[in-house]
Amino acid sequence: PGFADAPGYRTIKTIKSGALSQFTPDLGEAAHMPWKQLIDEGYVIAGSPATVREKMEDLIKGLRVGNIFCLIHVGDMPIEKTRYSTKLFAEEVMPHLRNMWPEYEDDNRFWIDPIDKRATPGPISERKTAGEA
């Protein structure tokens, strides 16, 4: 569930092609750029922890954002490499990006909150239909 196709079924080249095709109308020339050029021109942030940290700081400050979604796994990348990349990001990038906006440290408007009163689940046979009182 949740997959358009089986995980690991597509190659990195296929993933790149599919990802770029979503932006083709807006990217124009960038839709046909090689991976290195996409990185060099800022369409993708990738590289050493120091490079990723620097580029993410610029992105965060430039866009004034506080929540970023990172895709660390790409295509059929081996699990060991994914774990290593995630570890590098968690240990060498994330700590430097925390608290970039100290004035918003206690601002939780955009975080989820638990529901005060939850519905109690029960067997379907005990539920009333819309027509029952």
Average pLDDT of the residues of the chain: 81
Instruction: Supply the pLDDT for residue 24.
Output: 54
Give the tens place of pLDDT for each residue, 24-36: 556 667 778 888 9
| Cα distance between residue 41 and residue 45, in whole Å | 9
| Cα distance between residue 32 and residue 39, in whole Å | 13
Q: Contact at 8 Å (CB) between 49 and 90? A: no
Instruction: Supply the pLDDT for residue 95.
Output: 95
Q: Contact at 8 Å (CB) between 38 and 44? A: yes
| Cα distance between residue 56 and residue 64, in whole Å | 11
User: pTM for the whole thing?
Assistant: 0.59
- Mean pLDDT over 52-58 rounds to 95
Q: How does residue 84 score in pLDDT terms, banded at 50, 70 and 90?
A: very high
pLDDT of 9 higher than 70 = no
